Amino acid sequence: MKNRLRVLRAEREWSQADLADRLGASRQTVNAIETGRYDPSLPLAFKIARLFGLHIEEIFIDEAVEAAAE
């Protein structure tokens, strides 16, 4: 699953460590989510969405839906 986490984080000039602290997660987890190696649980995805003031689907992009739309 693709996501815009790195872009959103960069817009706020946060490091991965800053974002990890805000989420109560490890820096490794933030890195794995950003690079698409790990899909977060729903609670963590909601936490991320709340932190950026966005809906989940504005951050995480379902590639199957994206492909269907194209």
Partner 1 sequence: MARTVSAASTPKVQGRGVLTLGIVGALVVATGAPDVETLASITGWGVPEPIARAGMYVAPVLAIVVAMLIGRALGKGRPMGVRWLLYALLGGFAGFFMGLCLDLFVGVPNIIAMLSGPLAEPGEIEMILWSLGALCIALGLMVGLIGLVGQPAVSALQVEDADPECVEVRKSERGVFTLSGIGMATLGIACAALAVSRQVAESERFGPVIVAFVAGLLSVVASYVLWRGFDEMQRRHVVDGYAASAIVVTLGAFAWAGLQTLGLAPPIDAAGVFVSLIFVQLIATSLVTSSVMGQMSMFGKPA
Query: Does 5 interact with partner 1 (rule: CB under 8 A)?
Result: yes
Enter the tokens of residue 31: 């890195």
Query: Does 47 interact with partner 1 (rule: CB under 8 A)?
Result: no
How many chain residues touch partner 1 (CB under 8 A)?
26
DSSP-based three-state secondary structure for 12:
coil
- The per-residue b/e assignment along 37-61, b for 16 or more CB within 10 angstroms, e otherwise, is eeebeeebbeebbebbeeeeeebbe
CB of 50 to partner 1, least distance (A): 16
Query: Does 4 interact with partner 1 (rule: CB under 8 A)?
Result: yes
Query: Does 65 interact with partner 1 (rule: CB under 8 A)?
Result: no
Would you tell me which residues interact with partner 1 (CB under 8 A)?
2-7, 16-17, 24-29, 31-32, 34-38, 40-41, 44, 58, 61
